[in-house]
Every structure is written in C-alpha cells, then in structure tokens.
Amino acid sequence: MYIIKTQNELRAYLTGKSSIGFVPTMGALHQGHIGLIEKSMQENEVTGCSIFVNPAQFNHQSDFDKYPVNIENDLELLLTAGCDFLFLPTVNEMYPHGFQSLQHYDLGYLDSVLEGEFRPGHFNGVCAIVHKLLQAVMPQNLYMGAKDFQQCMVIKRLLEITALPVQLIICPTEREADGLAMSSRNLRLSAEGRSRAATIYKGLTHIRQHQYSGSFAALQNACIMSLATQNIETEYLALADTDTLQLLPDFNAGSNMVVLFAGRLEGVRLIDNLTL
Ligand code: AMP
C-alpha cells in the first residue's frame, strides 16, 4: 500500500489510473470503514482511503482533541483489506491558509435541521474537506456510509454544487453483534457505556416494529425515556422523509421514512438511524 502525504505525490501516483474509488475517513478505522473499502475494491481499478481528522468540522476543540487516533491499527486493517493507497495529509497540506475563512456551501434546509441545527457550521466544514479531497484524488466513485445519513445527503448536494464528475455510493451501516452502529467514537466509551449504547439500536428497531400500531410521538417519548434510564441523553429523535429530510409529525404510508437519533453517553456524541 502506498502511503502518500502530499497532493503532488497523489497526482503523480494516480495519473493514468482509469478507475479510482475513494473512501474518506477520520481514522480509528473499524469494519464500517473497511466495508466501504471492500466495496470500492470490487468496483474500481484502484482504491484509496484518506485519514484526516478535519479540524474544520468540529464544533468544540475538546471533541477534536479527544477524537480517537490509532494509526498503527488503521495501517494493519488497510493492509489486510488490500487497500491500494492511503492519503495521510497534514492540516497544513489541506489548509495552507488556515481553516477560519472557508468557502461557503449553500446547503439550504439540510444545514438547519437535525445535525445542521445541533452542529452549526459542521456540514460546511465537511464540505470543505470533502471538496478538497475530491479535487486532490479525482475519483470516479466515492463511498460513504448510511450511518451518516444526513451527511450523505449533504455530499450529494456538494456534488451538485461543484458539478464534480463523481458518483456517490452509499453503503449500509455496519453494526456490532448487539446492534450498536460501529463508530470510532465508541472507543471513548467505558465497557459499561459500550453495552448501554446498544439501547439506541434497540429503540430504533422498536419504533420500526411498532410503526403500524402506535403514533410516532408516543413511541418517540417511550424511546427517549428508556434511553434516559441508560444515561443516554437524547439530542433529537426524529422521523423524516428519506428523500428530503423534511420532518414528519407521524408515520405516513405515502413517504419513505427514516428515524434519526443523536445523543450523548458519557460525554460522547453518538448518532444512528434506521429506514422504516
Ligand atoms: P468517519 O471516519 O467516521 O468520518 O467515517 C468515514 C466514512 O465511514 C463515512 O462515510 C461514514 O459514514 C462511514 N462509516 C462510519 N461508520 C460506519 C458504519 N458503522 N457503517 C458504515 N459506514 C460507516
């Protein structure tokens, strides 16, 4: 596997490659990331992954400082998976002029609802780095996880805004045996917190199973209360249309629906979602 640290080296390595699949990550890799790499390897001549903890998308410095870093383990997973190259730039390489005054991306409604509401500026920071990475790698195919449901919608919008010739492929959420969505942030949980966190997936599946027998508001309330008994503080638990992310007050047979959750456990912010 080639480990590449600058955009110039990247261009030299990729010139002439006919089909490039790309998986951007923030590291502390797990099977969720590796699943994306494996999918890309099936569909492209060359597959690359980037590891870059993007300072521009964190709302709090402390969250950035505590973001798990585990590069030795990451390298081992990437080598085992057979990834062709790893792009591992420094902050200065990606933001030579700093990241305080970034390009503004007009994300409209997506930037004001759910993650947009609770993490102001977060998606603009995500767009800034994904835009730069796409310009550097110039892949045909970009692989992202449905775990970050709203982020996938934002990146679709970014591709429209920038008119980059990149196809976005969204892959299903990989879960632990107890249903917890795999996440780098899970590494920050204690063993007890880690097992409590499985309540999130249980709550989402309960809502999915009972969608024909109860109102969303009643199921939402019960779920928030059951999460609270596990010390999980809900930021939002919302029902939305999968195509537009418009919030729905109740189940609606005419819409494709998704339930989205964000909350905190032991100071760690966790998100998950389930399509109904
Ligand atoms: P991150 O390193 O958390 O920024 O994630 C990098 C990419 O991996 C994003 O496209 C995520 O949606 C995806 N990803 C993270 N966790 C999972 C998971 N459990 N299943 C599938 N994809 C995931």
The kind and range of the H/E element at 23 are strand 20-25
Confidence of residue 36 (pLDDT cuts 50, 70, 90): very high
Residue 195 and residue 263 in contact, taking contact as beta carbons nearer than 8 Å: no
Name the residue among 180, 261, 266, 161 with its Cα closest to residue 220. 261
Q: Is residue 189 over pLDDT 90?
A: yes
Q: Is 181 in the pocket of ligand 1 (CB under 6 A)?
A: yes
Residue 269 has pLDDT above 90, yes or no: yes
Q: In the predicted model, what is the mean pLDDT of the chain? A: 96
Question: End-to-end CA distance of the chain, in Å?
Answer: 39
Mean pLDDT value of segment 35-53: 98
Note the pLDDT of residue 18: 87
Q: Is the CB of 21 under 6 A from ligand 1?
A: no
The secondary element (H helix, E strand) that includes residue 219 is helix 216-229
The number of residues in the chain equals 276
Q: Does ligand 1 have an atom closer than 6 angstroms to the CB of 88? A: no
> Which residue lies with its CA nearest to atom 6 of ligand 1?
25
Predicted pLDDT at 7: 97
Q: By the 8 A CB rule, do 183 and 270 touch?
A: yes
DSSP 231: T
Is-contact 276 238, C-beta < 8 A? no
CB 271 near ligand 1, within 6 Å = no
- Distance, in Å, from the CA atom of 148 to the CA atom of 260, rounded to the nearest integer, reads 10
Confidence of residue 100 (pLDDT cuts 50, 70, 90): confident
Output the CA 168–ligand 1 centroid distance in Å.
14
pLDDT tens-digit series, residues 56-89 = 999 999 989 999 999 999 999 999 999 999 999 9
Does the structure show a pLDDT above 90 at 104?
A: yes
Per the annotation, the verdict on 131 as an active-site residue is no
Contact 75/28 with Cβ under 8 angstroms?
no
With a 6 Å cutoff on the Cβ, whether 245 touches ligand 1 is no
What is the distance in A from the centroid of ligand 1 to the CA of 229?
A: 28
pTM for this entry: 0.96
Confidence of residue 101 (pLDDT cuts 50, 70, 90): confident
User: Does 99 score more than 90 pLDDT?
Assistant: no
- Select which of 33, 60, 104, 210 is catalytic: 33
For residues 47 and 43, give the distance between their C-alpha atoms in angstroms, rounded to a whole number.
9
Distance from Cα 33 to the centre of ligand 1, integer Å: 6
Q: With 90 as the cut, is the pLDDT of residue 13 above it?
A: yes
Which of 50, 61, 59 lies closest to 84, judged by CA? Answer: 50
Task: Give yes or no for a contact between 192 and 49, defined as CB atoms under 8 angstroms apart.
Answer: no
Range 123-151 average pLDDT? 98
Element (H, E) at 272: strand 268-275
Which residues face 102 on adjacent strands?
none
**194-253 pLDDT per residue, tens:** 999 999 999 999 999 999 898 999 999 999 999 999 999 999 999 999 999 999 999 988
Mutating to test ligand 1, I would choose from 144, 148, 155, 176 the residue with most ligand atoms within 8 A of its C-beta, which is: 148
Q: Specify the residue with its C-alpha closest to ligand 1, atom 11.
A: 145
| Helix residue spans in 55-189 (DSSP H) | 61-66, 71-81, 91-94, 115-118, 122-137, 149-162
Does ligand 1 have an atom closer than 6 angstroms to the CB of 174? yes
Ligand 1 proximity of 184 Cβ (cutoff 6 Å): yes
Please give the pLDDT value at position 176. Answer: 97
Q: What is the pLDDT of residue 254?
A: 87
